Amino acid sequence: MSASDPVDGALARSQAARRRRVIDATLELAAGGGFDGVQMRDVAAEAGVALGTVYRYFESKERLLLEANLEQVEALRVLLADRPPTGDTAADRVVDVLRRASRTQTRRPEATAAMVRALGSARPEESDAVARVSDAMTGIITRAMHDGEPSERDRAVARVLSQVWLSSLVGWVGGVDGADVVADDLERAARMLIS
């Protein structure tokens, strides 16, 4: 973790393994019981590390969930690289991406609820993690529009869509709307914004 941080070696490897076990335990507990199901003592026990160790790797419960969420979004990006969005127009492709994303998330309600709640209640200490999630999402959207560098307007549209995406999920997690509303909101917004 310091300047002389060896990228390899036994220490680095065991640390990477610990980090992985902690994230995996988080995902599992989140899938079972949502935000409240992720209790730091349980995460530590499930990962086979001490509570203090969890806090050395992740400064708070929210950061832990945000980092776990980032992995999920990255997984979506990888999936999309393998199976690109289908559709003849940019709007269709974006709708396809958003639909797949929201389906993935509403399929695992508890885990998504945990991560959305972490996003929605983030404090400035976690701003970098929030920004990474947000950037990943807008990147996924602009990439669905067309190949090559996105225009300024493309980026603005993608930003709005990622904001609608977050708010919809907040509404869904908060029990205001059903899962179908999330998908509908996103499709309607995409079609209004992409001529």
Partner DNA sequence: CCGGGAATGAGAACGTGTTCTCATTGGCGC
Partner DNA sequence: GCGCCAATGAGAACACGTTCTCATTCCCGG
**In a 3-state reduction of DSSP, which class is residue 37?**
helix
> DSSP secondary-structure letter at 7?
S
* Residues between 115 and 144 that touch a copy of itself (CB under 8 A): 117, 119-127, 130-131, 134
Cα–Cα dist 165/22, whole Å: 27
The residues in 52-111 that bind a copy of itself, with binding defined as CB under 8 A, are none
Binding mask 16-45 toward a copy of itself (x if CB under 8 A, else -) reads: -------------------x----------
Question: Do residues 145 and 156 touch, judged by C-beta distance below 8 A?
Answer: no
Rounded to whole angstroms, the Cα distance separating 136 from 180 reads 23
Residue 6 binds to DNA (criterion: CB under 7 A): yes
Residue 86 lies near DNA (rule: CB under 7 A): no
Does residue 41 interact with DNA by CB under 7 A? yes
In this structure, the number of other CB atoms found within 10 A of the CB of residue 106 comes to 17
Query: What is the per-residue binding string for a copy of itself in 155-194, x denoting contact by CB under 8 A?
Result: -xx-xx-xxx-xxx-xx-xxxx--------x--xx--xx-
C-alpha distance from residue 121 to each of 70, 71, 190 (Å): 16, 19, 26
- Looking at beta carbons only, is 42 or 154 nearer to DNA? 42
